[in-house]
Amino acid sequence: MLAYGLRKLLYLPLGVLLLSLVSFALTWLTPGDPVQQRMVAEGVRTSGVDLKTYEREYRLLASRLDYDLPLFYFTVTHAALPDTLHRIVQADRRQTVRRLALRHGDWPRVQQYYRALLGARLAEEEAVQVTARRLLTRAERPYIERQLRGLPDGENTTELRTAYQDMVRHTDRSSLLWPRIYWNGTENRYHRYLLRLADGDLGISYADRRPVAQKIAVALPRTVLLNGLALLVVYLLAIPLGLYMAHYHRSRFDRWATGLTFLAFGLPAFWVATLLANFFTTPAYGMNWFPSMGFGEVPLGAGWWEALSIRASHLLLPVFCLAYPSLAYVSRHLRASTLVELERPYVKTARMKGMTGSQVLWRHVFRNAAFPLVTLLGGLLPGLLAGSVLIEQIFNLPGMGQLLYEAATARDWPVVTALVLVNGVLTILGLLLADIGYALVDPRVRLGKLPPR
């Protein structure tokens, strides 16, 4: 059993590595300019300063955040694009230069035009400065030509017009037919991202400039407590319910239990949670029986009964809303698998030996019918984590669900991507526990043999 568990643990690093790729891709694909958002979060002035100061601050912060490095260990691109495009750290400018290079196919002349724009943006004439800044983020040919025609004559404008005409005149798109692969080594953003993850650095929040790892460390235990209690309630109630529904098949108890589980599975948890929060946590309806916010603050020196009462009053409704859909789902699956097992010959043999119905259920049938329960465990954990986003928001529980909701609405992308990574790791651990559970329920799994269908 130990060797089987260790063998399964070897898959954990691979899963975490794949999750880090997904999280990094989300970081890269998030809308907006992450460097500028970080400048605002750190209190760096982005308006009312001269252009040179702003660009110097921007470049320094981009270098500190590794945005001046290539994205991955290698880059697959067209032959018209260089391996130094990542050095243009401002995303809108880099995108403009990329589009021009793909349109005209001559990188040296595109680079010459880009440098002319950089020079013109610092010209003495304000009209030239404004036009050059616009052209740094626009690649449409009619727009560029219209802006260039409106410029006054001068040294900077002459150089800019000449560079543009030279780029257009020597357009050659044949280089777009050939791919090119650049090897970047370990000096890339993803490698630095992995190193920071290994150090526990998940970034800095845009909202309050706190470390993301610190915010998650506060919220994670609360969500684990909430979902752990829900999972415990699900299995403590679903196992006997499913077994006795099958044992008393087609009885009144089975019909009532089947109807109630179908109803529970069909009722949306967020709707039920909203109703419970409105009716049982506010004095408007005269049923202010439960607190409406938080996990409950246990005073120092409180006894275990007082602490349990405070926690239970805050968590009873959220745990119920998280548990009842899964309870219905698990009990229905266990009922179906138990009905199959009750038709096996070993059940008849056990009854002939004088064993009662409950003894047959718990000593023989349950172990063989529990295999689907282990399968469901791997899917229940991520499902509960996803469901806790709305439940925590409705009941004002400061856990990971509420943290994710607030970060998403505030566009606090470092927190969002870090939570995706953490939830993914927890899901992998849930699947790992399910695999180990297979081995506990059925020893044939440890021997590499599939259970009978």
- Whole-model pTM: value is 0.77
**In the predicted model, is pLDDT for residue 126 greater than 80?**
yes
Helix (H) or strand (E) holding 420: helix 413-441
Contact 374, 438 (CB under 8 A): yes
**In the predicted model, is pLDDT for residue 278 greater than 60?**
yes
82 φ/ψ sector (left φ>0, alpha ψ -120 to 50, else beta): beta
What are 63's strand-pairing partners? none
> In terms of Cα–Cα distance, which of 65, 434, 447, 430 is closest to 224?
430
Mean pLDDT confidence for 330-357:
88
In the chain, which residues fall in CATH 1.10.3720.10? Answer: 212-445
Provide the CATH number for the domain formed by 212-445 in this structure: 1.10.3720.10
- Check residues 251 and 6 and name the one with the higher pLDDT: 251
Contact 253, 245 (CB under 8 A): yes
What the block records as the tokens of 21 is 């790729």
Mean pLDDT confidence for 388-399:
85
What the block records as the tokens of 168 is 């257009």
What gap in Å lies between CA 207 and CA 407, rounded to an integer? Answer: 8
What the block records as the tokens of 294 is 């938080």
Maximum Cα–Cα distance for the chain, whole Å? Answer: 107
Helix (H) or strand (E) holding 74: strand 74-78
- CA torsion, ordered 156, 158, 160, 164, to nearest 10 deg: 180
Contact 59, 89 (CB under 8 A): yes
Other Cβ atoms within 10 Å of 209 Cβ, number: 11
The least confident of 55-69, 335-349, 381-395 is 381-395
The position carrying tokens 């039920």 is: 272
Helix (H) or strand (E) holding 180: strand 179-183
